[in-house]
Structure 1
Amino acid sequence: MLRRMMAWRKSMFAQMALLTLLFLGWGLYAFVIQPIANLPITTERPPAQATEERLRSLLHAFMVAERNDPGGTPDIDADPMIRAIRARNPGFRFYVRVGDRAFGNGQPQFFRQYRFDQLARVHRELADPAICSQATKIVPRAGYDDYADFYMCDRLSFFEYHGLRYPVVLNRPEPLGASGKWLSAFGGNFFLAAGGVFLIFALIFTLHILSIRRVAMLARSIDPQRLDAKLPEKGVATEILPLVRAVNHLIGQVDAAQRRSTFFLSAAAHEMRTPLTVLRTRLELMDDGVQKDKLVGDVRRLTRLVNQLLTLMSIGNRRDITGFTDLVATARKVMSDLAPLADAGQVSLVLDAQVAALEIPGDATLIGSAIRNLVDNAISFAPPGSAVRIGIAADGTVTVRDHGVGLGDVDPTSLFEPFVRPVTNRRGYGLGLAIVHAIVRLHGGHVAAANAPDGGAVFTATFGA
């Protein structure tokens, strides 16, 4: 049970569901439960009480504003609330005083009646702004109150009103149904929550798509000749894991099949060496003649084929290289070894080296075999009287150029496949360039073939690039 729960942690669906539940739970608390719990418990007030509270708040706000900014406050008589009250209450009078400035449509009635004027005179005699006085007088009437508010520190602030008998209700809101109230109060919050959920889904999908692309990039980088690498299973989503495991299983099967095929070819070629040696020895004991020469030549070609197969198989089985090789010295040795063959075809060998010596990491025997096969191939196509040029660049690039018929319309990449012979009447079995390709790839480089601009073909092998 625990293992199944741990496996669900890597599932895209489980991750999205868990994050969505967490986000919606937080959104429900933050945007619904908490705002509803914080809503004040209100009851509908009588119109008279509501009118009195709004009127007192309006007069008090005007008094404070005029106190802070003398002369900069809008006319209180033009306020819609004051105008509506005066229109419905013909006997309504109000009076506001800030310092020496007075406002309103009546005279002060409570100011002298309740001795607020004497209190203001005492404050002036004290002449101490740190001493303040504040007083409120409510005079009950039939259903409504008359009201006076006095405040003084450094200067007088006072307002009063009387004659309010009928209520005034301005901007009464239209009643909303239950769904309308809920939508107006919390609809925006739920839209925000929905947007957050969408972002969570998009983020999770993006992360898993990046993971899938990483696996795909690793799959493209797998070398068909080296199938010991597998796709990573760690960090892959549960939904993709079966596909990754199936691909790894297929890679393992292909690798095993390649190993069996390589072992079979290697064993067959190795087993053919002994009978070919015995056959050649017996042929050498025969009397000289044309038939003997033909048979000996056939055995030599067959022995060379077996040796090339063994070389190709041994290169394919290797996974690393050791040692260092001087490319220039190796090229000189190859030219020395193949000089008799070149002289027989009336072809000259020329070395163009940018440096006197160039050591690179690599197996000297294998690199020498690769250069030998390239030069041997060029000699076989070079016409009599021409030259085969071997170039060594400072970056480890080896070029072999001949002035033969060139590649023609042949696909250059197909030349490095085993047993490919574009020209059927030439010597060899089409394994030389395949061996070159295998050796260069083993050294982390690449090999290419192309038609030369002024005729012939040029082969380029870059080691370690």
Structure 2
Amino acid sequence: MASGDSAQGSLLRKIIWRLSVITGVVFVIVLAVLTFQFYSTVDTLRDRSLVSQANDVANHLDMDSAGVPGLRLPDVLAQSYARLGGEFSYVVMNADGEVLFSLDGDKKRLSPFGLSQSSMEISYFRLPASAGKKLERFGATVPVRRHGRLFWIQVMQGEPHDDIMLDTIVGESFTSSGWMVMLLFSALLLINIVTIRNGLKPLKTASRQALAIGPSATDIRLPERDIPAEILPLVRAVNSALGRLESGFKMQRKFTADAAHQLRTPLAILTARIGKLKDPDEAALLKADIRMMNRIVSQLLKVAQLEALTIRADERADLSAVCVEVVSYLGAYAIDQRKSISLVGAEEPVIVSGNAETLSQAIGNLVENALNYTPVGTVVEIRVGDDGKVTVRDHGGGIPPEQRELVFRRFWRANSDVDGAGLGLAIVSGIVRAHGGKIAIDDADPDDQGRRGAVFTMKLPLPGGGVARPSGF
């Protein structure tokens, strides 16, 4: 048993494992994107920083009244250059390349370059590490115009500090790659949802199978294959309970059937002995009682058979033929009671999905029930519809709405004066349910005498959901 649990795996472990793998993959992708962003933006950030420094210096170039240029850096900027003089430097040159101002007062350019009055492009240079400068240095030559005159400004810096570069790159990454990260994590969320749904599919399958379990299908069990280890003990416990319920149902059905069979023999003996009685009136009364007992025994047998009834999907029955058979069978019974039966709509076949024998029992019980309650001299009307409906109408007192659900319960009787054990309509309801149909009770329209009576409507499924009457009739 343990090996089976291990093979099917834990739902929690599956979810954690899959999410961990997916998260790891996403993390690697994000890390790769950030690494690429880092290396692709370092040079850009450095160049941008150099140009920004040159513009800061240019913004403080000024001219006196004689046209002599001057450089007046703010104290904060001057102190920054003085403090970082080993790493940062600047030189301001006129249009001819003559050094006018520099950080250390030296009149040397930071890097040689060719003067071009027509070229106003920024050029960049790199100075390798040397004995005095252990770090590689980077610089830019930026042309600017101030007060109508051209100046060349050279700035230089060493490798930027890691914390400054990191802050800058993080800011750049959120600006340029933030949408990509959001897209990746949205994809991660979607994948997580799909993963969890796939992990719970076996539970949905078990739920659908559980809906099919009922009194007529007690042999169905919940599937244990692919069920997560956390749910498997519950599924097995439910299957075990279903097994015990099935055994109980079988014992009940067997008892009902055995009891009915065992009762038939003494009833037959009683019938034979009653025939020897000298008083014919007493014998007739006893024979009527025995007929009632025989009928109850037969109904008990039908109930036992009904609980195990299953209708095959390919079974077909002709409602018209079934109703004609019922009328032929109960015609004599109706005449004996000075009542009659009419049948409408049975001229053509009406094909439904179902078993003809059990449908004959159901419709026969409905007609017999109607004959028991309709007054002498009235007609029990049977109507067959081409949509798979059969209606049976009597002219009795009808059934109150509050009793319409009760009449289908076993042994429930609305009128104790009428012969019967209260099983006939319960059998009808069971047969209709086994066929996947429906049955309903309504008040009938008033007849000439103002009697409404009751209408029982039985609706049966059509083959493939099509038309009940075949074309060509």
Residue of structure 1 equivalent to 2:19: 20
Q: Which one-letter code corresponds to 1:261 in the other structure?
A: Q
Residue of structure 1 equivalent to 2:459: 462
1:355–1:393 contact (8 Å) kept in structure 2: no
Residue of structure 1 equivalent to 2:113: 147
Instruction: Output the CA distance in 1 between the equivalents of 2:186 and 2:397.
Output: 69
- C-alpha change, 1:291 and 1:280, in structure 2 (3 Å) is same
* Equivalence map 1:237-386=2 (5 Å): 237-320=228-311, 325-353=317-345, 355-360=347-352, 362-386=354-378
Instruction: Output the CA distance in 1 between the equivalents of 2:49 and 2:20.
Output: 49
- C-alpha change, 1:323 and 1:282, in structure 2 (3 Å) is farther
Instruction: Output the CA distance in 1 between the equivalents of 2:207 and 2:266.
Output: 49
Moved more, 402-411 or 259-268: 402-411
CA apart distance, 1:453? 4.5
Q: What per-residue deviation string (whole Å, max 9, x for no partner) do you get for residues 177-236 of structure 1?
A: 98x689757786887776665544444444456654553343234333221222233343
SS in 2 for 1:147: coil
* Equivalence map 1:88-99=2 (5 Å): 90=69
Q: What per-residue deviation string (whole Å, max 9, x for no partner) do you get for residues 237-272 of structure 1?
A: 333333222222222221111011001110111111
Residue of structure 2 equivalent to 1:74: none
Q: What per-residue deviation string (whole Å, max 9, x for no partner) do you get for residues 386-405 of structure 1?
A: 22100111123211011111
Among residues 193, 196, 215, which one is paired with 1:224 in the alignment?
Answer: 215
Instruction: Output the CA distance in 2 between the equivalents of 1:450 and 1:4.
Output: 55
Residue of structure 2 equivalent to 1:236: 227
Q: Which one-letter code corresponds to 1:26 in the other structure?
A: V
Q: Which one-letter code corresponds to 1:6 in the other structure?
A: A
SS in 1 for 2:222: coil
- C-alpha change, 1:429 and 1:174, in structure 2 (3 Å) is same
Instruction: Output the CA distance in 2 between the equivalents of 1:197 and 1:235.
Output: 25
Residue of structure 2 equivalent to 1:414: 406
Q: Which one-letter code corresponds to 2:110 in the other structure?
A: Y
Residue of structure 2 equivalent to 1:123: none
Residue of structure 2 equivalent to 1:65: none
TM-score, normalised by the number of residues in structure 1: 0.69
Q: Which one-letter code corresponds to 2:372 in the other structure?
A: S
CA apart distance, 1:144? 3.1
SS in 1 for 2:228: coil
- C-alpha change, 1:53 and 1:207, in structure 2 (3 Å) is closer
Counting aligned pairs with the same residue, the percent is 26
Residue of structure 2 equivalent to 1:438: 430
2:416 is aligned with 1:424: yes
Instruction: Output the CA distance in 1 between the equivalents of 2:154 and 2:318.
Output: 113
Q: Which one-letter code corresponds to 2:455 in the other structure?
A: V
Residue of structure 2 equivalent to 1:73: none
Among residues 380, 384, 403, which one is paired with 1:392 in the alignment?
Answer: 384
SS in 1 for 2:342: strand
2:340–2:377 contact (8 Å) kept in structure 1: yes
Q: Which one-letter code corresponds to 1:463 in the other structure?
A: L
2:50–2:155 contact (8 Å) kept in structure 1: no
Instruction: Output the CA distance in 2 between the equivalents of 1:291 and 1:371.
Output: 34
1:398–1:462 contact (8 Å) kept in structure 2: yes
CA apart distance, 1:437? 2.3
SS in 2 for 1:277: helix
SS in 2 for 1:148: coil
- C-alpha change, 1:185 and 1:226, in structure 2 (3 Å) is same
Q: What per-residue deviation string (whole Å, max 9, x for no partner) do you get for residues 153-179 of structure 1?
A: xxx75779798688599xx9997698x
Instruction: Output the CA distance in 2 between the equivalents of 1:298 and 1:425.
Output: 14
Structure 1 residue ranges without an equivalent (≥5): 59-78, 93-104, 111-139
SS in 1 for 2:262: helix
CA apart distance, 1:296? 1.6
1:51–1:168 contact (8 Å) kept in structure 2: no
Q: What per-residue deviation string (whole Å, max 9, x for no partner) do you get for residues 52-95 of structure 1?
A: 9649x99xxxxxxxxxxxxxxxxxxxx76644456899379xxx
2:397–2:454 contact (8 Å) kept in structure 1: yes
Q: Which one-letter code corresponds to 2:69 in the other structure?
A: P
Residue of structure 2 equivalent to 1:119: none
SS in 2 for 1:434: helix
Q: Which one-letter code corresponds to 1:419 in the other structure?
A: F
Instruction: Output the CA distance in 2 between the equivalents of 1:90 and 1:12.
Output: 78
CA apart distance, 1:146? 5.3
Instruction: Output the CA distance in 2 between the equivalents of 1:202 and 1:407.
Output: 54
Q: Which one-letter code corresponds to 2:396 in the other structure?
A: G
1:326–1:359 contact (8 Å) kept in structure 2: yes
CA apart distance, 1:14? 1.6
- How many residue pairs match? The answer is 390
Instruction: Output the CA distance in 2 between the equivalents of 1:158 and 1:325.
Output: 98
Instruction: Output the CA distance in 2 between the equivalents of 1:389 and 1:42.
Output: 92
2:408–2:426 contact (8 Å) kept in structure 1: yes
- C-alpha change, 1:27 and 1:84, in structure 2 (3 Å) is farther
SS in 1 for 2:343: strand
1:419–1:431 contact (8 Å) kept in structure 2: yes
CA apart distance, 1:147? 2.7
SS in 2 for 1:459: strand
1:349–1:387 contact (8 Å) kept in structure 2: yes
2:441 is aligned with 1:449: yes
Instruction: Output the CA distance in 2 between the equivalents of 1:190 and 1:423.
Output: 78
Residue of structure 1 equivalent to 2:86: none
